[in-house]
Amino acid sequence: MDNNELAIKKHTEWQGKIEVIARAPVSTKEDLAIAYTPGVAAPCLEISDDRDLSYRYTRRSNLVAVVTDGTAVLGLGDIGPEAGMPVMEGKCALFKAFGDVDAFPLCIRSKDVDDIVNTVALLAGSFGGVNLEDISAPRCFEIEKKLKEREDVDIPIFHDD
């Protein structure tokens, strides 16, 4: 079996390289009363008064968005966002394995710079940082610049392309 055949076999077996798991226990009524309702209201109200507390009370401080539009994926070129998903999942797996950082892929169905910037800006409150990945140049630089200039995006933005 060559590498391509093995890759297809493994990707079929894995059905993705990442998953979301609960860090909080949720197996009893008491667990649920703390992790969800009614107990979850207390941290919500504190974050409402000081949104920086979202870094203390949620996983946001350790969560990175890996964002692509699929226009410059590895040596494959413009293959689209869905076709780029295996690479984004792989990047997320690397974040976890080598940095213990939780990362989540966001594959955006637009090549428009402003669409991508606005999408990332709207989701910035869920993440501690954004990795722009496999977005074609020079758009990747323009997207990074625009995001860093926005007042409503107060998290690190970077790319390695």
The catalytic residue positions are: 36, 91
For residue 30, the SS3 value is helix
User: Is-contact 87 64, C-beta < 8 A?
Assistant: no
Reported residue count of the chain is 161
User: Is-contact 68 107, C-beta < 8 A?
Assistant: yes
Cα 142 from chain centre: 20
Q: Which residue has the tokens 């009614």?
A: 38
- Element housing 140 (H / E): helix 139-149
